[in-house]
Amino acid sequence: MAKLTPTNGAPGLHVSKPSPSEPATASAVCHCGASATATGDAQVGALVAGWTANHGPAHVAGGTA
């Protein structure tokens, strides 16, 4: 299985929740240089929302964040 953690060379967003009783974790690296990590379901949700609004898909749509 390929390593799924994003890096500067392979930017992206990775979210993991191994089981319902464990907290979610996430890491994100954008091609613009921004990066973030989060632990806990609420924090991961906020990271995903911020990534979607300001990085990743936003850059494709012409965003400058």
pTM: 0.80
pLDDT for 61 equals 60
Total length of the chain: 65
Share of the chain above pLDDT 70, in %: 88
Let me know: does 39 contact 23? Beta carbons within 8 Å. Answer: yes
pLDDT for 2 equals 58
Backbone φ, ψ for residue 4 (5° rounding): -100, -10
pLDDT for 5 equals 83
Strand partners, 29: 12, 35
CA–CA dist 19, 5 (Å, integer): 19
Share of the chain above pLDDT 90, in %: 54
Strand partners, 16: 25
Residue 35 has pLDDT above 90, yes or no: yes
| Three-state secondary-structure class, residue 33 | coil
Residue 1 has pLDDT above 60, yes or no: no
